[in-house]
Structures are given as structure tokens and as C-alpha cells.
Amino acid sequence: MPPLPGWAASGWPLIVRRLAPGEDRARVPLGLPLPPALGKRRIGFGLPPAVLTPGPAPTLAEARAAAPPAWHPTLDALIALGARHGLVPRPFGGLLWQALTGLPYLTATSDLDLLWPLAGPLPKTFLDDLAAIAAAAPMRLDGEIVLPDGGGVQWREWHEAGDGEVLVKHRERLEMRSVPLLGSRIATRRKQAQVPSPLRGGVRGGGRAEGTAPLDPEPPQPPPSSPQGGGEAPGLSSFEALEAAGPRGEELSP
């Protein structure tokens, strides 16, 4: 197994994470989770944008070969589910890192973590179909539905919420949002995008949608021990999940 200094030399990426209090905002906050054989330590970095090259996260189909053979029928069903609904699932967690590095991240008790990025409203039968696959899967199936505004909703919570509220996690905030308004928020964003704004040539907007209630931000975490150049970051317990697009959806190679 290559030592930590050989990570970049091997061409392996880092992942964008949340900015910890006290970190330099001029640098990109990055993380590197080590495999179980190295203690699953999570290493935090803060690097200047000029030395980084962004890259897209792999799809589940691209990562399939790195998964245990016992997972393959479930992965095939999930890929087919996405194709039926026009969605492309992307892994994060152990399968992502095992696919990117070839190192052994998955164990017999590992979950399968997936992101399902949306470009529009959630297809009506999608969550029921996903729950049926999860019920027959040999592993626990976790993950989030990623809304067009970048917010993430845990798929099980959405499936069980009915017309209630769900927690929507953004990069810098949390909010409770009514399930019936999730689709209307998408429609509102589309309508606003067609209205020219005199400010910066952008779009009109502002405020939050009716029926949403912002929560307090996540509890402060201690900054990395060496945010400028690396070192272990004991407070970075929650690395950003990969998305299909946007600043949280990029791998960054030094």
C-alpha cells in the first residue's frame, strides 16, 4: 500500500469537504479518508485553487467493477432504475474510494452510499422502486437525493415522510422543508431563471420559499491541525458527499 506522500504521485484525488471554523477561505478545503487498514483516519488539507484540477465523480456503472461480486445484482438493479427514471446514481463512501484507488475500503459490513442528483421533480414511483431494491439487497443502501439547488435529502427519510417535512442539508446550512414544496421549489427556480435581472446579468430571486424554516448551522468543528498544508484533522468528521455537478461534486487532484 503506498504511503501517504505517494497519494498524489499515484494520481488519486482528494474530496471537497466543509470549511471548518478558522480556515482560510482563500484555500479549497479538501479531505482524504484513509482505508480501514490504515485506521480510517481522515486527513484535512487546505490548498490554493491554482494547484488543483477538478474532475467529475464516477457513476455507479463506472464503479461497479470495484464492488464485491455479491453486490453486482443490486448495483445492476440500481443502474437500471436510474435509467428508467432518467437519473444517474453516483457512489460515495467506501465504494467510491475503492474504485478510485484500488485500495480495500469495503468490508463485510460496509453500506452502499449513493447520490441521486435531480435536474427536475422526483419521479413519482422512484422512492418506492428504490425501497424495493433496498429490501432485497445484501448490504444496507444509504444515500441522498440531491436537489437542483444543491440540497440533499436522505432518501429513506423522504420515502417515509409522506406529506410531512424532511431535513435538507446544504453545504453551509440546514433547513426543514415540506415534501409537497420540494417540487414547487424546483418549479420556482426554473421560472426565476427565465426572468432577466438588471443586477450582474443574473436572475431575480432572494428569500426562501414559503413553508421552509432554516435551522441553526451545524455545531462548530475544530479547525484542521494544519489547514495550510495538510495534517490530520480530528474535527473533520463529515466530509462532503460527492455530487454530479457543482463545487461539492468534484474530485480535486493536486
pLDDT for position 220: 36
- The per-residue pLDDT for range 81-117, each reduced to its tens digit, is 999 999 999 999 999 999 999 999 999 999 999 999 9
pLDDT for position 39: 85
Say if residue 4's pLDDT is above 50: yes
C-alpha cell at 125: 414511483
Top pLDDT among 184 and 73 is at: 73
Please give the positions annotated as active site: 111, 113
Top pLDDT among 185 and 46 is at: 46
Cβ-contact 113, 178 below 8 angstroms: no
Residue 224's pLDDT band (cuts 50, 70, 90): very low
Kindly list the distances between the CA atom of residue 176 and the CA atoms of 19, 113, 206, in Å, as whole numbers in the listed order. 22, 22, 18
In the chain, where the domains are located: 4-232
Say if residue 58's pLDDT is above 50: yes
Residue 212's pLDDT band (cuts 50, 70, 90): very low
pLDDT for position 132: 98
Taking the model in full, what pTM does it have? 0.72
54, with CB counted inside 10 A (0-12, 13-18, 19+), is: middle
